Chains A and B, each alone.
Chain A
Amino acid sequence: MTTPVREISIAKIISDHLMLRDSATAFFDDIERMPDEAVVVDFDGVIWMSRAFAHEYLTRKKASRKTIDERNLPEDVLRMMAVVANPAPKKKTYVEIDTEPVDTG
């Protein structure tokens, strides 16, 4: 007997622009409530995934006991997920001028 796999169109459930972290949180809350042990998330139709959404998506996927796979991942979504999965260290790219802050009080 094979384990049933549920397919979900994320563009239809949320939007073709996956923007807010809270949207990803709610999306995974719904997945966790499903009886299925395996879920395939279909990204067909998705135009954009924000960094915040990508971070929450990958964090929740890693924490889930379910098997969650993706298909039809657009190039931009793949790049954003790659950035989030391997974040560069934050760096200082500016020069501070007059390091004593101006006090207007």
Chain B
Amino acid sequence: MGPELWYEYLDYSRMRDAAVRSGSFEFAQIADMPSAAMLPLCMFIRRSGIAWTAPGNERLAALVSGLVSGGAEAVSGVNTNTDLIRLPDNRTHQLDMKEILHAIQTRADLFGGENAFTYVVGELADNWNQHSQSRNSYILARGLPDLRCSELSIIDDGITIGGSFRKAGMEVENDMLAVKRAVGGLSSKSREERGYGLYSTLRILTEGLHGTVLVVSGGGALERIWTSPGKILQKTYHLGGSICGFEGTLVSARMPMPAPKLDIYDYTG
């Protein structure tokens, strides 16, 4: 198994480059698009104001229009049929995660059961809440039965993982190292007992659910891939100032379907 999500993310940067050159993006001929490409592409189209045409596929069209328009009415609220959740702009302790969880909890069986799904979504959302300082953020959780897999992603247009470390006064040589340290358990809160959120989430998604996870943040990226029992590979990428960089953070995971049931406490540290 190779770094599949990375190549899908590279497709995003190619499509973005083509859209910049032509001044528009045509979704019309696209039947579906993996989350690792669709989420950053739609965030880019929204930010740049580039013209776009809606996909013919109804399910994809709903996702794309929700992401590009940023219209909360299309994608938020307690609608258990929706794949996409827009996280609120007003990040306060008042944020009722139950509302978010209810909207996607029907998909828990796709992600190793309710405990695993709640743990992963909760830790990703808490990281977002604590560190991202973003204005536009989404969680996408969907099953792709034809491909016998499911996808779980969170994306934001915030200050990036490296930016969060630097804001906290921590030295990081580059964004790739920032991503690598964050998933290895380093926290911008500079305390050893912190930093378990992303660390344990990646363990659950790969060791527990046998999935692949791509983390892209600013000029750095990392992909961790479950290949066989006891064998997990990790590869890192320097994006520097290239077109592959991302102004924000994307965590995108793909798990085989059906997902194995697991005891999350084996991975929570």
Q: Are B203 and A93 in contact (CB under 8 A)?
A: yes
Q: Using Cβ atoms and an 8 Å threshold, which residues of chain A touch B73?
A: none
Stretch in contact with the other chain, from B42-50, B162-170, B194-202, B253-261? B194-202
Chain A interface residue bracket vs B: 35 or more
**B 189-224 contacts with A by CB, 8 A:** 193-197, 199-200, 203, 206-207, 219, 224
**Closest CB-CB distance, A27 to chain B, in whole Å?**
8
Q: Are A101 and B196 in contact (CB under 8 A)?
A: no
| Mask: chain A, 9-40; 1 = CB below 8 Å from B; 0 = not | 00000011101111101100000000000000
Q: Are B122 and A87 in contact (CB under 8 A)?
A: no
Q: A102 contacts which of B91, B129, B232, B238 (Cβ < 8 Å)?
A: B238
Nearest A-chain residue to B6, judged by Cβ: A102
Q: Are B233 and A94 in contact (CB under 8 A)?
A: yes
Whether a CB of chain B sits under 8 angstroms from the CB of A65 is no
Q: Are A105 and B269 in contact (CB under 8 A)?
A: no
| Mask: chain A, 36-75; 1 = CB below 8 Å from B; 0 = not | 0000000000001011110100000000000000000000
Whether a CB of chain A sits under 8 angstroms from the CB of B229 is no
Whether a CB of chain B sits under 8 angstroms from the CB of A104 is yes
Whether a CB of chain A sits under 8 angstroms from the CB of B119 is yes
Whether a CB of chain B sits under 8 angstroms from the CB of A6 is no
Known: A26-B93, A104-B239. A51 touches B268 (CB 8 A): yes
Q: Are B123 and A94 in contact (CB under 8 A)?
A: no
Interface size on B, residues (CB 8 A): 48
Whether a CB of chain B sits under 8 angstroms from the CB of A95 is yes
Q: Using Cβ atoms and an 8 Å threshold, which residues of chain B touch A53?
A: 126
Cα A34 to Cα B203 with chains together (Å): 40
Q: Are A21 and B240 in contact (CB under 8 A)?
A: no
Q: Are B234 and A103 in contact (CB under 8 A)?
A: no
Cα A50 to Cα B200 with chains together (Å): 12
Cα A26 to Cα B199 with chains together (Å): 25
Known: A52-B126, A101-B238. A90 touches B265 (CB 8 A): no
**Closest CB-CB distance, A86 to chain B, in whole Å?**
10
Whether a CB of chain B sits under 8 angstroms from the CB of A97 is yes
Q: Using Cβ atoms and an 8 Å threshold, which residues of chain A touch B231?
A: 95
Cα A68 to Cα B186 with chains together (Å): 30
Q: Using Cβ atoms and an 8 Å threshold, which residues of chain B touch A51?
A: 119, 122-123, 196-197, 200, 268
Q: Using Cβ atoms and an 8 Å threshold, which residues of chain A touch B185?
A: 90
Cα A88 to Cα B56 with chains together (Å): 49
Known: A93-B207, A94-B206, A104-B242. A55 touches B193 (CB 8 A): yes
Cα A92 to Cα B231 with chains together (Å): 12
Report 19 cross-chain contacts, Cβ distance below 8 Å, ordered by A residue.
A17-B122, A19-B122, A20-B95, A20-B122, A20-B125, A21-B126, A21-B130, A22-B93, A22-B130, A23-B95, A48-B118, A52-B123, A87-B193, A90-B184, A90-B196, A94-B233, A97-B234, A101-B236, A104-B242
Given contacts A50-B122, A94-B233, 17 further A-B contacts (CB under 8 A): A15-B97, A16-B98, A17-B98, A19-B98, A19-B125, A20-B126, A20-B129, A50-B126, A52-B123, A52-B130, A53-B126, A55-B193, A96-B233, A102-B236, A103-B237, A104-B239, A105-B239
Residues of B near any A CB (own CB < 8 A): 91-93, 95-98, 101, 115, 118-119, 122-123, 125-126, 129-130, 176, 184-185, 193-197, 199-200, 203, 206-207, 219, 224, 231-242, 244, 265, 268-269
